[in-house]
Structure 1
Amino acid sequence: MESIETKQPAKQTDQLVREQLAELLKGGFAPNVILLREFDYKKADILLDGLHFSAWILLGHIRARHQTLLRFMQHPHEDIDVWPDAHWPENHKPQSEEEWNKAIDAYAQELQEMIALIKDPATALFEVRPNGKTVSWAAMTALHHTGYHIGQLKTIGRQLGVW
């Protein structure tokens, strides 16, 4: 049986990889931005028993890691520490619905910037950079990290009656 690489020219394979990464960065079948927008901001400050984070803290944590990975993707030739100590916001409550929505809007914008870089054929996805990482690694790390915490957010939301 022939592999997909032997059936498709390299340019088509490259485009396919970029499209799949972009789709997964969005959240695949459960788009992250939609899930965040569905979450009731009035419940974003609730700390369930046994957890050290609220939905607001999760959003802040997701964004902090996302921003670090995006900076690397934007400036891959710099020796950026792509996995610094995790940032967990201390404030567990958004001050207003506007603050909650602005944070989601900022995440959505950062996500679009990341996707634009991934889709750009000029972006070298697999070139190893000074820190030993690649842009494709950063994209996969972002989608994995975000997916993990979006799963936590979804679980919290179910416990709180959001979904």
Structure 2
Amino acid sequence: MKKIIGLSFLTVMLALQSCGTTSNMQEFYAKYDNQATVVPLPSFALKLAGKVSGTELFSYLKSAKVFVISDAGEAKQKRVMRDLQSSVRGESFENMVKLKSKSNNLNVSIKENGGRVNKMIFGVNGLRNVLVIDSKLDIPRAELDKALDKINAEDIQDLADILK
């Protein structure tokens, strides 16, 4: 009987742990690793994207990792976005932008050192997908603030349309 109670307790604890939020980005990626597609983007690809799009922000990016979870229902999308927010808080990121348009969300969090932003994470969910872009960059905080001030609800819808 003691073995059954002990095994039951252990099973419940493991189940609760797997449902709990993550406390850093490494835990976040580990939790959703089997459910996601990860595409690393080297700096030359980012610079090319910047030239094609005409967006100056790309010139500051050193590298990026795109993390996509497809076919996620609304409950799973909310859970993934909640875990993402918990992870960036756990690593002392600063939430810069948090916008909502219909059922789509955009969260941008940054980490800076000495007035320069060196890490930025975008989290976007929409329709049945979640997109996380984890990027390393080097940009003065003031310049990034100007770029992020231009983000609006239409941008969220555009990103959600990309996720279709």
**Range of TM-score over shorter length:** under 0.3
Q: Which has the higher helix share?
A: 1
> Which structure's relative contact order is higher, taking Cα pairs within 8 Å and 6+ residues apart?
1
Of Structure 1 and Structure 2, which has the larger fraction of its residues in strand? 2
Q: TM-score, normalised by structure 2?
A: 0.26
